[in-house]
Structure 1
């Protein structure tokens, strides 16, 4: 199966609820899904996969108990998927991502004694540009936990896995580099691979990198601050046999209490005590 990571936007109105669960189990009104979900279904079929996980349609959105159960499964859901479609450029479900390929600016050229088409692009490297989904807190762990990702941007489709990142537009040869675009990937991999053998100081640094990467992302509901990171917390806890208390690891206390808000006095939320950054 594949997973879908995308920005819902205000247009995400067709969701799974108690009132329509029976109907959705028997049939789905395809046009109401939104173009992004429709495109993801198309890609799933083209890749020969049987199922697609879409959180809006797989979790009862008006059932707190179902949400709590499924949120605890995020590490397994995204970590066990064949791949995840990460829709970087779309700001809402209505936009879609299977747009026509870029054809301009384009010019004829020659390489190795044969005619080729050349593309000119003078802007920044596209994956170094922050896109709407990069600000979505829930998408952070969806990216980190997925073993393989097809990253859809405005100009290109990128392949991202645990180590390599492939971008085919600007070279005829495969272009690989460390997958550091969401720079927490190598730090999470290091924590998981070393587990309890990782020195406390190294873990503290790696976790701070992950935490800092996550902390600037936005949530519609601030009360979800810890829930949106549950999958990452669970894989780290299992690897290190360490307990996490409201976003602080036992092995890093009391040092991890020395945090500060970059936006002044933080708002107070009931899900965490005042000493936690999640408050």
Structure 2
């Protein structure tokens, strides 16, 4: 911690709180000054003379308001520092509010930062003391009824004893019982990642990995994770790059299918949130300048200790959770999506501080209040839900609600980045396994309950996804999924809400697909969906400009009948498309809106089509398909 020497000026010498002046939980400190925006010359002069608080105040003001226009008549700032002794909370430490700099007399209190030497110290003294060890297997009441899943570990890393007397080693089967920690991280560039021979487990180095791995031969993220696990007095650490033989397709496929077990059963998941590659490490701190001020328990007594102040940036209304975690590169990667949400407990290491997430609550090293439940990230929630959130158990009897939760999962996941496009379905299979188990949807003996990212029990709504931005969306360079699956395009997708009522028209006949490996919820080689449906040819497609969701006019015999959205813009230039009646959806206006899939003929096989988009008709065209007889068609 870089603590500047502080020679307080005449203004700042009063910033030494006395508990004896505590009235109604407040200690008022006489501090008031006026300076000129935007350079604050008086604060600058004072800081040069040795007043560290003036320097900190000037830095905070310039950082906070550098891009904001402040009216000259209201340019006085009224900083106020508050020392608090919380009557409740999870650690009972004294906290100090971040200084508030406002042009208004009526200002709103923001988030808080811890005011102890421990909270701003080196990560090795801090990381394991912020949250006392929760009682194992009984962390909090919301988790007490969870079933702990113990499984045969195909490959784990034994980090060795805490005294560093043994090198970490890879163990192929874990007969030793013990809790383990999982690591969630960004790999980064594979070239940089493979700079050392122990960065990944391969067939050629498997024997060496089993014998022992010198700690300094591991990428920095792995070294840091080993240190944390040893500090936790645990022995086992699961890291994907080490615990999966990376050039063995069978081992990779088998382990990729087990992510629900791996992260769901881990005692703790360490998230290397601040690192953008495995070589970065995540224990380094980007520490703001810190100053110390004396703290008195009594007016006439000697100082009882020091309070430490540091300016802490915030990221909008969601505070530093958003700026430190949600916008991190780690949170943009495809695999980390399910790693985060399958885990019972996640400890985030960010550039500035630690964050804790579990299924009961969240907390931060800065002693911030828990986030508003609306902003608490959980894959069990779906867009537009109430603040209480959805749990898998709560939605098990409400099919529309729990499928809404799945569509939210897919929508958020589809915005993530993957280094290998073939990972689109495997990187979500862990969540699919968890979802299937929670809703008892694995009863199909033919493994056809999950069709390339879509659940058969809500098939038609699952087919009606649309591109968030078709101008940027594209098809993959190789086969990833059938055209009717959201996984067939590169880009974020959205799904229709349940609305106020849905009436489906096509009938499911059968589905056939060929998985790439044993995991039917992972990668596939081919898939076909057979439906009994009404299909009608449209003759003219004309682009329009005033709707971002359905930017194409669809015409039949010269009349405009619907607005459509193509999955990829380049597929919208054909004059002839086919429309398949899909469902009638009742919306807020209580009117039935026919929705349909847009199709192109696939090759020369009769009644075989590829999906190219989705369209919505107005109520007056309800009878458009009345003259059509349902026929069996295949979607590929």
- Summarize the Cα distance change of 1:119–1:69 in structure 2 as closer, same or farther, 3 Å threshold: same
Give 1:122-141 correspondences, 5 Å limit.
122-124=313-315, 125-129=319-323, 130-141=327-338
Deviations 1:129-173 (A, max 9, x none): 20010011000110001101110111001111013110132x4xx
- Measured in 2, the distance between the counterparts of 1:128 and 1:270 equals 36
Whether contact under 8 Å (1:158, 1:165) holds in the other structure is yes
Alignment of 1:203 onto 2:420: no
Counterpart in 1 of 2:461? Answer: 255
Whether contact under 8 Å (1:97, 1:152) holds in the other structure is yes
RMSD: 2.2
Whether contact under 8 Å (1:162, 1:179) holds in the other structure is no
Secondary structure at the residue paired with 1:40?
helix
- Measured in 2, the distance between the counterparts of 1:256 and 1:111 equals 63
Please list every run of 5 or more consecutive structure 1 residues that lacks an aligned counterpart in the other structure.
Answer: none
Give 1:187-202 correspondences, 5 Å limit.
187=381, 190-194=390-394, 196-197=396-397, 199-202=398-401
- Summarize the Cα distance change of 1:111–1:196 in structure 2 as closer, same or farther, 3 Å threshold: farther
Counterpart in 2 of 1:266? Answer: 474
Alignment of 1:159 onto 2:356: yes
Alignment of 1:120 onto 2:275: no
TM superposition shift of 1:206 = 1.4
Counterpart in 2 of 1:4? Answer: 183
- Summarize the Cα distance change of 1:175–1:254 in structure 2 as closer, same or farther, 3 Å threshold: same
Counterpart in 1 of 2:518? Answer: none
Specify which structure has the higher proportion of helix: 1
TM-score, length of structure 1 as denominator length: 0.91
Task: Determine which of 89, 95, 108 is the counterpart of 2:293.
Answer: 108
TM superposition shift of 1:85 = 0.4
Q: Which moved more, 1:104-113 or 1:19-28?
A: 104-113
Task: Determine which of 486, 489, 497 is the counterpart of 1:277.
Answer: 486
Q: Which moved more, 1:160-169 or 1:39-48?
A: 160-169
Please list every run of 5 or more consecutive structure 2 residues that lacks an aligned counterpart in the other structure.
Answer: 1-179, 299-303, 383-388, 442-448, 489-636
TM superposition shift of 1:181 = 5.6
TM-score, length of structure 2 as denominator length: 0.41
Secondary structure at the residue paired with 1:85?
strand
Specify which structure has the higher proportion of strand: 2
TM superposition shift of 1:236 = 0.5
Number of aligned positions between the proteins: 275
Alignment of 1:229 onto 2:434: no
Whether contact under 8 Å (2:271, 2:348) holds in the other structure is yes
- Measured in 1, the distance between the counterparts of 2:206 and 2:376 equals 35
Alignment of 1:219 onto 2:418: yes
- Measured in 2, the distance between the counterparts of 1:77 and 1:180 equals 28
Q: Which fold has the larger relative contact order, with Cα–Cα distance below 8 Å and residues 6 or more apart in sequence?
A: 1
